[in-house]
Chain A
Amino acid sequence: MTEIDSKLKRVLEDYGPMLFRLATSYEWDPALRDDLLQDIAFSIWKALPTFKNEASLKTFIARVAHNRAVDHVIKRQRIADRQGSVENAAALTSKNNRHPHDRIDLLKAIRRLSLPNRQCVELMLEGFTHSEIGESLALEENTVAQRLSRGRRQLRAILNPGEPE
């Protein structure tokens, strides 16, 4: 195993769950999701030698992964849950999940957000701060705040359709 392979393995060990969630949010179909995950891993592998420690590794990985995922959406010209199915979504539940239905609803709701808002909301859910989101997506913090506010509002409206905002 080369040095870059070992680096990639360490990155996947540390950020694998985050990358998995990201791939799942962009692609329902398990086979295509795995393809997307492989594309993301390959993009990270290619990008790792250019990482200069100027930013945090977490934001660097998030940036590469989001770019690749958006690229995937563009290539497939898929929008939100147009191609998604409840059967495939059900496959996402796992034994250790306490609220599987909540998670599917949340995932489905996130997929219905516009791409810019979706990217910000996903990173917020991953625990990124506003400045880390800005660093990952090359956005000003003000823009991040605006998109998060819009994204949260949209998400609330999708998850609780009857409730007033």
Chain B
Amino acid sequence: MKTDKETDQWRENWQANRGDSLDIDALVEQVRRRNAREKIIAFFEVASSTVPIGLCLFAITMPSSTAYESGFFLLLAAFVGAFVFWAVRQRRRIWLKPQKTPSELIAWERQRLEAKMRYWRVSFWCVFGIWLLLLLIAAASLMSNSELNRGWPTSAIANLGVLLATGAWLQVVKHRARRQLDALEALDMNAG
């Protein structure tokens, strides 16, 4: 019965650590604060999508907007709505993960990292699409030489900055995610 005695001794040693420094009231308070913080973040996420959609719809209703402009803003509003819906859905999928074994959790983390890279890749190409559209409208407005359409070239230039920043960030995310994926390989071997 050597094993039982040994196990009992291990159990006694293990349970001797009663977590004296554990402050339950402080922990409950931290959880409450964290919940409040997450609600605020969720609110800002919804607000950040509602504002641009609202501005797009406002631009469409303006009497001075042309058919081209109305079409562009309608497309932009639909795109922002679809993109936010997709992003929120991705996040919920991550939060609502069911019970998993270590290997499954590692596979899940791998999926999460791949989804993150996909998210930024999609973002980059969407920003590129918007910039291209702005460029085409700017070129068309310059050719028509209309006074009203002078804002388009400025928007195209400003969006070039957004495009370059998104491209640079995509490279950072890809580099980090690949390093993490390599580390997960090692962890997966340990999980067995």
Interface residues of A (CB under 8 A from B): 1, 5, 8-9, 12-13, 16-17, 19-21, 24, 37-38, 41-42, 45, 63, 67, 70-71, 73-75, 77, 79-80, 92, 94-99, 102-103, 106-107, 114-116, 119, 124-127, 137-139, 152, 155-156
Q: Which residues does chain A contribute within 8 Å of B31, judged by CB atoms?
A: 5, 8, 38, 41-42, 45
- The answer to whether B192 touches A94 (Cβ under 8 A) is no
Closest 7 CB pairs of A and B: A20-B19, A77-B183, A115-B102, A125-B14, A115-B191, A12-B24, A17-B19
Chain A CB within 8 A of B137 CB: no
- Complexed CA–CA distance, A84 and B168 (Å): 35
Question: Of residues 19 to 44 in B, which have CB atoms within 8 Å of A's CB atoms?
Answer: 19-20, 22, 24-25, 27-28, 30-32, 34-35
Q: Which residues does chain A contribute within 8 Å of B190, judged by CB atoms?
A: 79-80, 114-115
Question: Across the A-B interface, how many residue pairs have beta carbons closer than 8 Å?
Answer: 126
- The answer to whether B105 touches A70 (Cβ under 8 A) is yes
Tier of interface size on chain B? 35 or more
Q: Mark B150-192, 1 if CB is under 8 A from A, else 0.
A: 0000000000000000000000000000001001101100111
- The answer to whether B11 touches A125 (Cβ under 8 A) is yes
Interface residues of B (CB under 8 A from A): 3, 6-7, 10-11, 13-20, 22, 24-25, 27-28, 30-32, 34-35, 99-103, 105-106, 109, 180, 183-184, 186-187, 190-192
- The answer to whether B34 touches A116 (Cβ under 8 A) is no
Q: Which residues does chain B contribute within 8 Å of A45, judged by CB atoms?
A: 31, 35
